[in-house]
Amino acid sequence: MFRSRLISRRPFLPSSYASVYNPLHLQQRRTLKLSANAAAGLKSYGSVINILAGAYIGGLIVSLGSFYFLYHDANERQSIPFELSFEDQIEAVKAINKDDVLRKPNFAVKHYRKILFDLAKRVDPSIDESQFDNYNVPIIDSQILVYDKSNKFSNFYIDVILRYSKALLAKGELDASIKTLRKIIDDDLIYYKLGDAERLSECSRLLAKVSQSPDDRIHILQRSIDMLSKTYSSIQINDDYTLKQNSKVSDELINCLNDMAFQLAKMSQDVPKKRKSTLLNESLAIYLSTLQALTTIREKLETRKANQSNYPLFNVDRENLITQICSVKAHISEILWAQGFKQDAINWSEEILNELYYDHASSPKVSPILENVLANLADMYSIQKKRTDIERCQRLKKDLKKYEKPDDMDDRLKDWYESVINRWSKIIYDQGPLGIILVPLQERYGPGRKIRELEEFEKEDEL
């Protein structure tokens, strides 16, 4: 009686819950079973699936590897800060690659411009791109650039502006290039506080080259030399911009001094005689002080009293040092000739021939110097009516080789690397990263297709 009542009070459960309620019920699991025919068919497609999977993974590896290769190359040429967004880093790689690797600065303008606008908008979101015409770009406020940004970012930013200005020149946008450079060079806070003085000095030399006024060029170069001497205490300059006896030098300082001396000599061509003599003397004094500093470095290196560690800002490699010395001597020869010291001018030029001529086949830097010196000597001997010397100069100039690749292994490896990155860049822009695989296969097993230049499939930006 009790049992029957207990059973009758058990609540009614639907059949779907019965198995769950009953602890003794064993739940069965469904399994997928393939027929023998289906299993055999699947096995027959296994090799195809493996091939497709391998091709997919291989393509992915090639794509990622090629992208990293381009990024690494661009980062080696100019350090790209992680403060940039991922999109701006891509733009930076494209810009540097097209500028340095493909030698197409006019195609890099749009990338540099986009980076400069993006970085400015991060600081001031109210910037409206449509308000900037004719390739003008906004410049980050100097207070923010100097005090709120890292040195790596600021150096990158200045480099992009320099690259952008050079690229604008390649497009023929002279006014926009000058206006962009002026925003940096004329800002004292940026010019004297920013870390990379060499890069700013390079900006100054570029601005001096494109400026129309001779006096403006001189002022810009003087400003650059002053900035370098204030940045590096080891650089000591006199009031007339000659080097003091114990002053250290840098490659950029030598370039600035040479450019300034050249501009002074050039200005002397269109001024009264008295003013001409003053300008030539000022130019000669700068050249002579520079030559003395370089000769002292050469003597210390040859006697092993110094090495590269003693001149951290200057490249003491023999090729660089000798070509710098001979280039200065060539300018001194021209000034001496203009001052009336004819034989002294000839002797200086002949000294350069004896120093450099047998190096012209192994160094691309030597031939342009020799070509200029031989042309000047031929003119000098022509005025003096020395036919034998004229014929000798003409013969030497005719035998002068324009350029021969050096035998140095590092330079050959560099040439190989440059050719590879150049080829890969063209393929990737034209056919995508998988083209790196497809192009060699087509060249080996089928009709090869010419790798197109950038101009053939991409247009320059137009405003």
Note the pLDDT of residue 435: 73
The 10s digit of each residue's pLDDT in 221-232 is: 999 999 999 999
User: Which range is least confidently modeled, 93-102, 118-127, 196-205?
Assistant: 196-205
pLDDT, mean of residues 70-80: 90
Percent with pLDDT over 70 in the chain: 82
CA 252 to CA 199: how far, in whole Å? 9
CA 395 to CA 286: how far, in whole Å? 33
Predicted model pTM: 0.77
Note the pLDDT of residue 461: 75
Note the pLDDT of residue 48: 61
3-state secondary structure of 165: helix
CA 459 to CA 463: how far, in whole Å? 12
Phi, psi of 57 (to 5 degrees): -65, -40
**pLDDT at position 250 over 80:** yes
Q: Is the dihedral of CA 139, 143, 148, 154 positive or negative?
A: positive
Please check whether residue 353 is in contact with residue 305, taking contact to mean a CB–CB distance below 8 angstroms. Answer: no
Each residue of 308-338: b (16+ CB within 10 Å) or e?
eeebebbebeebebbbbbbbbbbbbbbbbbb
Please check whether residue 160 is in contact with residue 116, taking contact to mean a CB–CB distance below 8 angstroms. Answer: yes
Each residue of 55-87: b (16+ CB within 10 Å) or e?
eeeeeeeebeebeebbbebbeeebebbeebeee
Residue spans of the domains in the chain: they are 78-195, 211-316
CA 316 to CA 297: how far, in whole Å? 8
Give the pLDDT band (50/70/90) at residue 43: low
